[in-house]
Structures are given as C-alpha cells and as structure tokens.
Chains A and B, each alone.
Chain A
Amino acid sequence: MKASLLLRVNGEEREVLVAVHKTLLEVLREDLQLTGTKHGCELGECGTCTVLVDGEPVLSCLALPIECQGREIKTVEGMARGSELHPLQQAFAELGAAQCGYCTPGILLTAEALLAVNAVPTRDEVRHALAGNLCRCTGYTKILDAVELAALRLKRSEPGARVGAIG
C-alpha cells in the first residue's frame, strides 16, 4: 500500500508516494536521492544512518516517514549553508576525522545535536553522545578532537568555514 506523504527535509517541502512500510532511510536514499545518509545494519545498531528529526538524532533505519510528517528532518546534505560548511564539517575535514567517510554523516549529525544542547561539552560528554555511532577506521580520536575544535569555534563565533574553503 502506498501513501502520499509530505516531508520537510533540509528546509524543503518534499512530496513522496511510497509504500508505507518503507523506512525513512529508504525514502531518503531511494525516493529523495539523499544518498549522503548511509546504512550500516538496518537494525538500529550502528548509528550510521542517523539523521535529525526536530533536532533529535534518530536512526532513520528504524523510523517510518509517516511518523515524520510535519517535523523537521535534517540530513548531512542540510548541514552546510550554501557553500559554507558547518563548523563540524570543516573541523572533521581539517583534522582527518573522516577516513573512509562512511560513518561520517551520522556522526556529524549526532555531534550537531549535542552541540545544540551543550555548547562546550567535555571530552567525556562527547564520548557519551557518540557512543551509539560505530566507526571502524579512526579509533575515534580525531573525531573527538574535531568535535572539540568545532565547539570551540562555534563558541568564539568564528566563521568555521569560509566560502569555497577547500584546502
């Protein structure tokens, strides 16, 4: 059975006609071509598919789009403002926090949700916030460093990213 849904994704209204049992992960990737959101288990175990729904981290592989109608969905594609990267994205790139990059979107969004409620988290608080996101490449060290750097820059209201700040 298909249903017509109105979703608000990255600030844009998107109308989709999808089977009602399709997960938010599937609809984002397959119907909206937002392939920045990845899948690691599709069982809610690894955090890879994390997106924000009304600012809260949600495992999109366990969420049904029908429940997300009327709510603000944010994926990694929605983090930058135009070509200006979010300070988290900037810090992750600068500090080598993304190796293969597969877990990166989920971790970036989880970290964004943390910084929204705790502007200057301690390293342990960052650890706790990211404990549900597995990364097999980095040993987490550079990820923790990058979240701390981004928090610092946000607090100082530095422009975390410059337009076209590549390299």
Chain B
Amino acid sequence: MSKRFNIVGRSLPKIDAWAKVVGETRFADDLVLPRMAYGKLLRSPHAHARITRIDTARARARPGVHGVITGRDLPRVKFGILPVSQDEEALCVDKVRMVGDAVAAVAAVDEETAERACELIEVEYEPLRALMSIDDALAHPEVRIHEYGDGPNVHKAVALQFGDVDAAFAEADLVREDVFYFEGNTHLPMEQHAAVAQWGADGKLTLWSSTQTPHYVHRLLAKILDVPQAHIRVIAAPVGGGFGGKLDPFAHEIAACKLSQLTGRPVKIALTREEVFYVHRGRHPVLMWIKTGFRTDGAITGMHFRSWLDGGAYGSYGVASTFYTGALQTVTYKIPAYKFEGARVFTNKPPCGPKRGHGTPQPRFAMECQIDKAAEQLGLDPADMRRLNLAEPFTKTANHLTVTTIGLGECIDRVVEASGWREKRGRLPRGKGIGIACSSYLTGAGTAIYWNDMPHSGVVVRADRSGLVAVLCGATDIGQGSDSVLAYLVAEVLGIDPKDIRVHPADTDLTPVDLGSYSSRVTLMAGHAAIQAADRLRQRIFTAVAKKLEVEPARLVARDRRVFVEDDPERGVSFPEGVVLAESMFGVLAFPGSYAPPKRAGKYKGGGVGPSPCYSYSACVVEVDVDPETGEVTPTEVWIAHDIGRALNPLLVEGQVEGSVYMGLGEVLMEEQVFRKGVHKIPSLLEYKSPTTLETPEIHTILVETDDPDGPFGAKEAGQGPLLPVIPAVANAVYEAVGVRVDEIPISPDKVVRGLDLKRQGKVARIGPERLPLFTFPAPRVVESAFGEPAAGIAERPFSS
C-alpha cells in the first residue's frame, strides 16, 4: 500500500537552518557594498509641530558628508500602504505629527559622521497642541492632525448590522454589557530594520531591505520616487523577525534610495533600537464595549460590538485594523445576529498597524472574558459553554464569511483532557487558577491591499539537465519557514528530497509576485502556486518518461528521486534522467503556478476584510499562580490545541504555536507601548518588558488535523491564530485564582493589587475602563444575516486550471 505523502507530515529541519546556526545568513545590515555610504535620519523631537525652517548648510559642509536631503528633495507626493490612506511623507515638509517623524537624512562616510551631521541640521518648529489619547483627539476638533477622514481626527468610522440584534437581545435570557481595554504593544523583532539602496549609473535602483512585503515596497517606491516601477528592484533580505512590524514602506528605505541617487554610492541605513520603537505600526490600543444575549443553556442569540482604536499619527493599515476588530467574532461561535461599530482616531503618537493577529486579539480578549462571565452567571462550565456554541462547518456567518472545516470541538476536548481541567477547575488552592479561551484566524486575507484580478502568489519551478530544481517565489521568509515549506511541497510533488531544491525568494526582478508575509497567507497561497507549478513540471517529465518506458503516463509515480511504474517499480529512471528526457522533448523546463483565493467577499462595503480561504482554530488552557501580596501573575503551564488543517511539517507548526503562546503571554502580562508627552516611556529592550526564558512556562502543543479542502494538502495557518486565546485564557485564570476581573491588558501587578484591595473592601473586584468616549457612530449599513447558509461548495478559484 502506498502512503499518501513522502515529505509532507515529516518533522524535517528547515532548509536554511544550517546557514542560521553557523552565522552565514546575511540579514540586511550584514550587506556591505564597495563605496557604500552610511545614512542617518534626523527625527522630530515634537509630537505635533509646524516646520518653519530647515537649514542643512552646516551639515553639508562637514567633512565626510556625502549628501543631505530633506522632503523638498523628494517628489511632493504622500503615500501609505492602503490606497485609502495616502497620508505619509518619508521626510516631513510642513508639519510633523509625532516624535520620531523624519525631517532630513544624511549620507556620510560612516555612521558616526552621519549622526554628527544630523546634529548640525537646524530645524525650527512651531509646536502645535499634541493630541495624546482618543478622548483628547475627539475633544479637540479644532486641532487637526490630518485633513482627511470620517470627521475631525477620526480616520475611519464604520457601522455594519447583520440581522436584527434588538430582537436577538429580546429573546435572550441574559444580556450582558461589558467594557474592556487593551493597551497597545509593539512587535519587538530582534533585528532592527535596515536597508541598502544602490542607484546604478544606468538609472536603475536596487533596494535590499528587511521587509515582509517587497512587492508593496516595490509598488510604492515607484510612486514615492516618481520612477517607473520597472526600473526598481526590491530584494527582501532574510528578515530577523517581523510579526507585522516590517509591512509598511518606511522613511529609511526611501531616504536610502534618494541618497544613493544623489551621491552615486550605495547607501545603507540601519535603525537603532529606539528608532524601531517609534517606527512601530504595532498593536492598536483599543477600547471595547460588547453586548451579548445568551439563553440559559449558554447559546448566544446575538452580539453588538463597538471598538475605538487609538491609531496614532498615520493611517498605515488602520482601516483594515478597524474592520478586523469586528470581523472574526462570528467565525468561532454561532452568532445569528451581529452588529459592529468601530472608529479609528488619529493621535500624535507612532502609528499603529498590524501585529500578529492584526486587530483581532483585542476583541478576542473582550469576547472570551465576557463568555466566562456569562458562564459563571448561568452556572455553566466555560469549556462546555464554548463547545455548545461552536460554529457549523461549511456554513456562512452572519457577516457573510464562508467557514470551511472547524476542528475547534476537538481542540477544546484535547486541552480539557490534557490540562486536567475537570479535576482542577474550582479545586485549586487559593492563588492558583485555571482559565480557558478559544479563537479562530484567517489563513490568508481573501482580498489584496489594492484592487486587482491578478494572482496573490506566483511560483516558477525550473529544472534542467543538471538535475537542478529551483523554486522562485516572491514570498519572504521571516523566520516562519516559508522557503522550507515551498521546498517540501515541490519535493513532495516531484518525489525528490527538499535538499535537492534551491529556493530563491523575494526578488522583484526574478521571482513572480507574492503579496507578502502577512495575514498568515504564505503557506496556503504560495503553497498552492508551488504545487501547481511542480505538478506542471511533473506532467512533462511523466510524458517524456512514459514514452521511453512505453507505458501510460498515468501508471507512473515520482518517489525516492526516481520516476517509475507504480506496479512495476524496477521499470523507471532516476529523477535527473527524467528531467533530461523532458528537456529533450519539450525544451526549457520552467513552469508557473498561480494562486488567487476564491471570491467569497460579502457584497457590502467593508465585506473585503475578513474573508479567507479557510480559518484556523485554537483552544488554550492556562494555569497561573497569583501572588496576593505583589499581584504578580505567573503562568505555570500552558496547553494549546490548534486546528492546523494538516501539519506540513509538525516541527515548524509547533514552533509557530509556541512562539505565538510566548508572544501572547508577553502581551497579557507585561508589554505596553506607552507615552509621556509624546515621548515613548520605555524605548529599550530592558525597560519594555518582554518574557525571557524565566517567564516563559512549559507549553504543551497539540495539533489537530481537519484536512481542509481549501488548503495546500489540507493545511491551514499556524503563525498568528494560536496567539489569540492565550490572552483571555490568562485573564480568566487570574479571575479563578483570586476572584479579580482585570478587564484591561496588560494584567500588570498594580492592577491585580488594586483589584484585591477592592475585594477586601467588599466592592466589585473589577479593574477596567469605567466610561466610553463621546462619539456618535454613523448609521449602520444594514445587511441581511447570512448565518447558517450553506457554504457554496468549494468555490472555484481563479487560475486553478
């Protein structure tokens, strides 16, 4: 009996693991080119100010300085990652909107000279009132951070209603309204961003950068620099940690390009750690109000969710982030009627954007804590109540998202079993507690950032008489292992070993477009494209080998580096011989694969955020120790089960799950991106607390497979979803341990202590926001609920044949 897979499902090392353990991997800052100059940005010390004068003369005159630029040396065009939010300048010309906005850049013989030269640039500012919070921004409409948006300092306001939520609340036995706050935090990749630009004498530009989205940088550089896109080449260096922090085009990339053009030299700009904190684009601070109706058995009748996002100084991905705070609630549990209102407000702080889980960890925290509160009120076990509410596979949600496979029921059962939930819950000694939460996440955004009908991912597989198989793909390996996944999939199809393959990623001159390493899309989208390309190559090889062996191609298989007759394995050729036969018959062997997701977006404005080919599911149980004196919360053990569809490489999936759990623990207990008078309070790795080995507990990972028909060989995502349930699971465990509800992230010791004080005083032991902003949402767009409608089969997708 032949097994289905040879490579898929095996815990193989990553193909780049060897380079990484010997220090061979060349990150962007490791690149050194002949005659290279070093650049620095001069950044604003003001949170909000008009620029009245910039004089660069003294900097230019300094020995060792090759060039100095300001915004006036660049085309006067604003840009932004989303077409609807074109509000950024690489170097600000008239106004700065945050501490850290760049106003000038220098290229010099070395970094130190560039830094000294920056100090010689004279900038005069006329300070404006800085708006530092959502309330502040709404209370001062006379101060405008930007001139566009859905109201004074309101970047985006949305309101959507699916079905009759009022009727849903009327038929509920229990209606809860709760308010939650999630403080923002940042990605904190270990690698600081760096870029090297080389503007050649032929007028063509090459940029090497630590970016997760070389394609979007490529597109935007053409606009920003006013150069034909065809004359620009963007190469993503291996990224030393991304988590969403390297998804926008950044000032240092643009300045390096312009300085290279000006000086006729390659220019490198590497950010300092402090600069990375200001570049940010991380987790939005979000205030949330959630109203949900429950029946006595725990079933949800309807939900109304409101979110207010503190967006910071620029748009970035913020419109998408806003929609995401309201998009995926319906994917986890049955919610027949649903209403969402959200608003993103501009403030004079570094812009927020996408961080692992993009816009969904905040509402997930709110929702999963509220379910726990409802379970307590209804006298139900929180795990059982979640299980009762599970969404139905292959149906549509109220907000028109198509859900395929759902492994969440098994995930809950497995973590309940593994953690000893039934024995422990309610029986642990005081100060110890156990909590549960669930979640779901996209496996790739169903729509691109800019509207188009082209593939979301492309792969070329090339083979020749040497036996070489090369895989070319625009996807960027940010440590998640996307290069390796492509090698595994192509090796699986061609019956060879991953080590026989070279993967060439993320070079806009050589590789087909892939939209980027975000939204957990690469394994699914680039994976499908790789399988299609490899399959096309295999067909040619089979045709040629079949002719030589005088058999039908359908009788051939490729395995163990051979192509042979399945029921007569002795009859066959080696893989390289097969390639020679195919090259002799067909000429050059280079085959493309293309992928675009099935078109499933709901037909309403805003329906483009949330659809995905399939959704991953996770359930998490956390056990904590809470010190009643200091309020310190110590997670002692974590059990997490993740519906991965199929684990293409269980080792890599576990790594993603463990990393997600770790990052979730940091967010729930310690990490916060906070400011004082516009200045980051703690812009260093020492003071911005993140978990070390000592704060990270044992993590027990359980993989659940559902073989999703929309995934490559059935696979779904693993890089983001498993972060989501960790945060509310900890919050719920803290409540079980000491009876204090901290409805505000992070759950820092001071909040726990305050809650314990309230409890001792006989008051409601809840710490969290007490009031909501004064803000009127627009009238909702009313759309019929699609809840429970069957998924329209497995939709045809473009380029599939």
- Give the Cβ gap from B107 to chain A, nearest Cβ, in Å: 17
Size class of the A contact interface (CB-based, 8 Å): 35 or more
Query: Is B497 interfacial (CB-CB < 8 Å)?
Result: yes
Query: Is A115 interfacial (CB-CB < 8 Å)?
Result: no
Measured in the bound complex, the distance between the Cα atoms of B273 and A43 in whole Å is 9
25 CB-based A-B contacts, threshold 8 Å: A36-B24, A37-B23, A38-B191, A41-B685, A42-B272, A42-B273, A43-B684, A76-B21, A79-B22, A85-B21, A89-B21, A93-B21, A96-B652, A99-B481, A100-B190, A100-B191, A101-B25, A101-B238, A102-B240, A104-B23, A136-B241, A137-B190, A139-B663, A139-B696, A167-B12
Instruction: Say whether, besides A35-B26, A99-B481, A136 and B21 are in contact (CB < 8 Å).
Output: no
Interchain CB contact under 8 A, B21 and A131:
no
Query: Is B746 interfacial (CB-CB < 8 Å)?
Result: no
Interchain CB contact under 8 A, B478 and A96:
no
Interchain CB contact under 8 A, B21 and A138:
no
- Give the Cβ gap from A160 to chain B, nearest Cβ, in Å: 12
Interchain CB contact under 8 A, A96 and B651:
yes
Query: Is B580 interfacial (CB-CB < 8 Å)?
Result: no
- Give the Cβ gap from A27 to chain B, nearest Cβ, in Å: 13
- Give the Cβ gap from A86 to chain B, nearest Cβ, in Å: 8
Q: Quick one: closest B residue to A26, CB to CB? A: B111
Measured in the bound complex, the distance between the Cα atoms of B23 and A88 in whole Å is 13
Interchain CB contact under 8 A, B694 and A128:
yes
Which residues of B have CB within 8 Å of A137? Answer: 190, 241, 479, 655, 659
Interface of A is mostly: loop
Query: Is B2 interfacial (CB-CB < 8 Å)?
Result: no
Interchain CB contact under 8 A, B22 and A100:
no
Question: Among residues 1 to 60 in chain B, which have CB atoms less than 8 Å away from a CB atom of chain A?
Answer: 11-14, 16-27, 29-30, 32
Query: Is A166 interfacial (CB-CB < 8 Å)?
Result: yes
Query: Is B686 interfacial (CB-CB < 8 Å)?
Result: yes
- Give the Cβ gap from B372 to chain A, nearest Cβ, in Å: 25
Interchain CB contact under 8 A, B13 and A96:
yes
Query: Is B165 interfacial (CB-CB < 8 Å)?
Result: no
Q: Quick one: closest A residue to B16, CB to CB? A: A101
Number of A-B residue pairs having CB atoms within 8 Å of each other in the complex: 178
Size class of the B contact interface (CB-based, 8 Å): 35 or more
Which residues of B have CB within 8 Å of A37? Answer: 23
Instruction: Say whether, besides A39-B192, A41-B684, A108-B21, A127 and B694 are in contact (CB < 8 Å).
Output: yes
Which residues of B have CB within 8 Å of A39? Answer: 29, 192
Interchain CB contact under 8 A, A99 and B655:
yes
Per-residue CB proximity of B476-491 to A under 8 Å, as 1/0? 0011110000000000
Q: Quick one: closest A residue to B499, CB to CB? A: A167
Instruction: Say whether, besides A139-B659, A166-B499, A94 and B23 are in contact (CB < 8 Å).
Output: no
Interface residue ranges, B against A (CB under 8 Å): 11-14, 16-27, 29-30, 32, 187-192, 238-243, 272-273, 478-481, 497-499, 651-652, 654-655, 658-663, 684-686, 690, 692-694, 696, 698-699
Beyond the given A45-B684, A93-B20, please list 15 additional residue pairs across the A-B interface where CB-CB is below 8 A. A35-B23, A40-B190, A75-B23, A76-B23, A96-B14, A98-B14, A98-B17, A98-B20, A99-B481, A100-B238, A131-B692, A136-B241, A138-B659, A139-B661, A167-B12
Which residues of B have CB within 8 Å of A141? Answer: 654, 658, 696, 698-699
Question: Among residues 43 to 95 in chain A, which have CB atoms less than 8 Å away from a CB atom of chain B?
Answer: 43, 45-46, 48, 75-77, 79-80, 85, 88-90, 92-95
Which residues of A have CB within 8 Å of B655? Answer: 96, 99, 137-138, 142
Which residues of A have CB within 8 Å of B24? Answer: 36
Among B188, B192, B659, find the residue whose CB has the most chain A CB atoms closer than 10 A.
B659
Measured in the bound complex, the distance between the Cα atoms of B690 and A154 in whole Å is 32
Measured in the bound complex, the distance between the Cα atoms of B243 and A141 in whole Å is 18
- Give the Cβ gap from A31 to chain B, nearest Cβ, in Å: 11
Interchain CB contact under 8 A, B20 and A101:
yes
- Give the Cβ gap from A157 to chain B, nearest Cβ, in Å: 21
Instruction: Say whether, besides A99-B480, A167-B13, A38 and B21 are in contact (CB < 8 Å).
Output: no
Question: Among residues 132 to 154 in chain A, which have CB atoms less than 8 Å away from a CB atom of chain B?
Answer: 132-144
Which residues of A have CB within 8 Å of B686? Answer: 41, 43, 45
Which residues of A have CB within 8 Å of B16? Answer: 101
- Give the Cβ gap from B268 to chain A, nearest Cβ, in Å: 11
- Give the Cβ gap from B287 to chain A, nearest Cβ, in Å: 27
Instruction: Say whether, besides A96-B652, A101-B20, A130 and B188 are in contact (CB < 8 Å).
Output: no
Interchain CB contact under 8 A, B17 and A92:
yes
Per-residue CB proximity of A1-30 to B under 8 Å, as 1/0? 000000000000000000000000000010
Measured in the bound complex, the distance between the Cα atoms of B696 and A89 in whole Å is 23
Instruction: Say whether, besides A100-B479, A101-B238, A102-B27, A134 and B651 are in contact (CB < 8 Å).
Output: no
Which residues of A have CB within 8 Å of B23? Answer: 34-37, 75-77, 104-105
Interchain CB contact under 8 A, B191 and A139:
no
Measured in the bound complex, the distance between the Cα atoms of B661 and A90 in whole Å is 26
- Give the Cβ gap from B634 to chain A, nearest Cβ, in Å: 14
Measured in the bound complex, the distance between the Cα atoms of B655 and A136 in whole Å is 12
Measured in the bound complex, the distance between the Cα atoms of B372 and A67 in whole Å is 58
- Give the Cβ gap from B219 to chain A, nearest Cβ, in Å: 25
Measured in the bound complex, the distance between the Cα atoms of B647 and A96 in whole Å is 15
Which residues of A have CB within 8 Å of B32? Answer: 33
Among B18, B32, B188, find the residue whose CB has the most chain A CB atoms closer than 10 A.
B18
Which residues of A have CB within 8 Å of B662? Answer: 138-140
Interchain CB contact under 8 A, A166 and B18:
yes
Which residues of B have CB within 8 Å of A88? Answer: 21
Interchain CB contact under 8 A, B693 and A131:
yes
Interchain CB contact under 8 A, B22 and A96:
no
- Give the Cβ gap from B28 to chain A, nearest Cβ, in Å: 11
Measured in the bound complex, the distance between the Cα atoms of B497 and A140 in whole Å is 29
Interchain CB contact under 8 A, B241 and A140:
no
Which residues of B have CB within 8 Å of A90? Answer: 21
- Give the Cβ gap from A14 to chain B, nearest Cβ, in Å: 17
